[in-house]
């Protein structure tokens, strides 16, 4: 049954960090009971409703129920109901490891079907590393995962915690952005594009080589849908938890560095990969008689993957100058515009994949697999400005797409979506049906398959709170249901409750 103020569900996972800390005689210490102490007393987080607890899978087989709160109606006229799960042992941001990343990813996996989105509270020191790591660990992601933290505790008089947490919560519960993101100081960044730029400023993170996915202002959140990366395969959400960070090192080149220093790192027992932070566009000293380059070439020949990233925050690593060309001839991989955090976690991810050969790893390091880098050879298209209001043209284009879907005209669907400047996969009709909702009850399953292969979200609900899977099930479209389930679709919690009530 439709409601005036539909409700989405978000799981907040508290791993630790400054955001949840309180003062003590020993200094700042993590505060337990964050939901009740830090969020419940604030009207922006709590509309005062008496709500039942929400289920949380604390491991793969254990379901517990935690108190829940609900926000007042947002700018988008929906409530966000949420609960908070605190890790039994809170993680120190400065000492987090791949085991901690695995714990976060597994928690999301265990609760994936229960919630519309996830917010991860995390310390800021290694926040960019964690957001990058999770982006590679989470494959075929169809729901938003937003990491955030704060420079000051939520209990401090002057703090950025409320804005960061509330912004993350609203975006996670409102927009089906299928990415691992980092939200800080009114900006939503792609998680593997962000880096920390300040130890004290509230504007502590930046995304030097990629624009923000969304910005929050007094008018609400403005999402740049054309920047959103989508899973483009018919497959279910899955995670890989065993990143091989133990055998990857990172080394920063400096003037006067000795080849013996680099050789010492490259000969560490078990080393499989090195992130080399070089000057400018990828330059490094060759050493006397090319000795430094020779050290690197020897390591490459031993099977060590060496990736060249720039010490500069913005720009590309490329063979523009002779020193960079020399590194390329030695077998060093150009990291293009990868951040150091993304390069290290991506390489750790690839090294952990079973049966991936050296050449495959070096190839994948130069290709974008989660939107983490700009591929130099990819063609960029821009559309000229027009005097006709974009919203009118978008409505016209979506109407045409709806007719093509209803008629089973696959060719027309392909034509309308190729080079689409309007974001038609995210457009909605008067009942908030997306193109995938329409295709779920359309006659030709090939249209549904085309939309799924282009990254249409299977988790978006219409105004009646129905998913495409629910609609397909209701009309008995067996092949549509099968294809949607293969893409990771599942009934929303509210749909499951409705179906139980009908039986």
Residue among 464, 244, 234, 210 at smallest CA distance from 348: 244
CB atoms within 10 A of CB 331: 17
Q: What residues pair up with 217 in beta bridges, in sequence order?
A: 220
**Does residue 280 have a pLDDT over 90?**
no
Q: What is the percent of the chain with per-residue pLDDT over 70, rounded to a whole number? A: 93
In the prediction, which pLDDT does 3 show?
Answer: 38
When the pLDDT of each residue in the chain is averaged and rounded to a whole number, the result is 88
3-state SS record for 164-201? HHHHHHHHHHHCCCCCEEEEECCEEEEHHHCEECCCCC
pLDDT value at residue 342: 96
- Strands 180-184 vs 305-310: parallel, antiparallel or unpaired: unpaired
Residue 289 pLDDT: 64
The predicted-structure confidence for 241-261, as pLDDT tens digits, reads as follows: 989 999 999 999 898 888 899
Contact (CB, 8 A) for 38 and 495: no
User: Would you state the pLDDT for residue 345?
Assistant: 96
Using DSSP, state whether 69 is helix, strand or coil.
strand
Query: Is residue 96's pLDDT more than 90?
Result: no
The confidence score (pLDDT) of residue 215 equals 94
Predicted confidence band at 283 (pLDDT cuts at 50, 70, 90)? confident
Q: Which domains does the chain have, with CATH numbers?
A: 7-239 (3.40.50.1170), 245-364 (3.40.50.40), 390-502 (1.25.40.20)
Residue 219 exposed, middle or buried by CB count within 10 Å (0-12, 13-18, 19+):
exposed
d(CA 268, CA 202): 39
CA dist list (Å): 481 to 119, 139, 437: 29, 21, 12
Confidence of residue 110 (pLDDT cuts 50, 70, 90): very high
The encoded tokens of residue 46 equal 């709590």
Annotated catalytic residues are 18
Strand pairing of 7-14 and 79-86? parallel
Q: How far apart are CA 10 and CA 358, in angstroms?
A: 40
Q: Give the pLDDT score at 298.
A: 92
The span from the first CA to the last CA of the chain, in angstroms, equals: 16
Q: What is the mean pLDDT of residues 62-76?
A: 92
Q: Is the pLDDT of residue 279 over 90?
A: no
In this prediction, residue 218 carries a pLDDT of 84
Q: Quote the pLDDT of residue 386.
A: 47
Nearest to 13 by CA among 156, 180, 158: 180
pLDDT band at 436 (very low <50, low <70, confident <90, very high): very high
Is the pLDDT reported for residue 382 higher than 70?
A: no
Q: Measured in whole angstroms, how far is the alpha carbon of residue 201 from the centre of its chain? A: 24
Q: What is the tens place of the pLDDT at every residue in 177-233?
A: 999 999 999 999 999 999 999 998 999 999 999 999 999 988 888 999 999 999 888
Whole-prediction pTM value? 0.88
Query: What average pLDDT does this structure show over 29-39?
Result: 86
Residue 431: φ, ψ to 5°? -105, 15
CA distances to 59, 145, 172, 225 from 138, in Å = 17, 10, 16, 20
Look at residue 401 and tell me whether its pLDDT is greater than 80.
yes
């Amino acid at each position: 049954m439709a409601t005036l103020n539909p409700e989405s569900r978000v799981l907040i996972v508290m791993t630790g960090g400054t955001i949840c800390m309180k003062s003590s005689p020993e200094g700042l210490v993590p505060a337990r009971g964050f939901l009740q102490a830090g969020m419940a007393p604030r009207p922006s987080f709590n509309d005062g409703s008496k709500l039942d607890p929400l289920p949380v899978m604390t491991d793969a087989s254990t379901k517990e129920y935690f108190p829940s709160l609900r926000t007042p109606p947002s700018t988008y006229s929906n409530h966000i109901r949420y609960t908070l799960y605190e890790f039994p042992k809170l993680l120190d941001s400065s000492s987090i490891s791949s085991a901690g990343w695995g714990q976060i990813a597994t928690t999301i996996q265990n609760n994936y079907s229960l919630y519309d989105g996830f917010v991860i509270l995390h310390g800021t020191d290694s926040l960019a590393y964690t957001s990058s790591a999770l982006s590679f660990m989470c494959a075929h992601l169809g729901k938003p995962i937003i990491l955030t933290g704060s420079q000051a505790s939520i209990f401090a008089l002057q703090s950025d915690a409320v804005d960061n947490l509330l912004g993350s919560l609203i975006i996670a519960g409102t927009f089906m952005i299928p990415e691992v993101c980092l939200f800080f100081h009114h900006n939503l960044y792609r998680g593997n594009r962000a880096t920390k730029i300040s130890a004290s400023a509230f504007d502590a993170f930046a995304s030097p080589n990629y624009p923000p996915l969304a910005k929050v202002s007094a008018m609400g959140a403005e999402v740049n849908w054309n920047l959103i990366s989508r899973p483009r395969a018919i497959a279910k959400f899955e995670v890989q938890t065993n990143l091989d960070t133990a055998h990857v090192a990172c080394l920063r080149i400096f003037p006067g560095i000795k080849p013996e220093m680099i050789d010492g790192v490259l000969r560490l027992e078990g080393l499989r990969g090195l992130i080399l932070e070089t000057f400018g566009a990828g330059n490094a000293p060759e050493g006397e008689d090319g000795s430094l380059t020779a050290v690197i070439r020897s390591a490459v020949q031993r099977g060590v993957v060496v990736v060249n990233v720039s010490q500069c925050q913005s720009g590309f690593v490329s063979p523009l100058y002779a020193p960079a060309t020399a590194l390329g001839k030695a077998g060093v991989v150009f990291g293009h515009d990868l951040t150091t955090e993304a390069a290290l976690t991506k390489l750790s991810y690839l090294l952990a994949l079973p049966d991936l050969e050296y050449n495959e790893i070096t190839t994948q390091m130069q290709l974008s697999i989660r939107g983490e880098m700009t591929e130099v050879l990819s063609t960029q298209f821009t559309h000229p400005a027009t005097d006709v209001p974009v919203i009118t043209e978008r409505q016209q284009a979506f109407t045409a797409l709806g007719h093509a879907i209803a008629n089973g005209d696959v060719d027309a669907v392909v034509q309308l979506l190729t080079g689409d400047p309007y974001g038609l996969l995210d457009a909605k009709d008067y009942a908030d049906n997306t193109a995938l909702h329409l295709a779920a009850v359309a006659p030709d399953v090939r249209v549904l398959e085309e939309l799924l292969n282009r990254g249409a979200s299977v988790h978006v609900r219409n105004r009646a709170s129905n998913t495409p899977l629910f609609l397909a099930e209701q009309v008995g479209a067996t092949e549509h249901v099968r294809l949607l389930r293969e893409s990771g679709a599942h009934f929303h919690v509210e749909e499951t409750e409705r179906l139980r009530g009908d039986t």
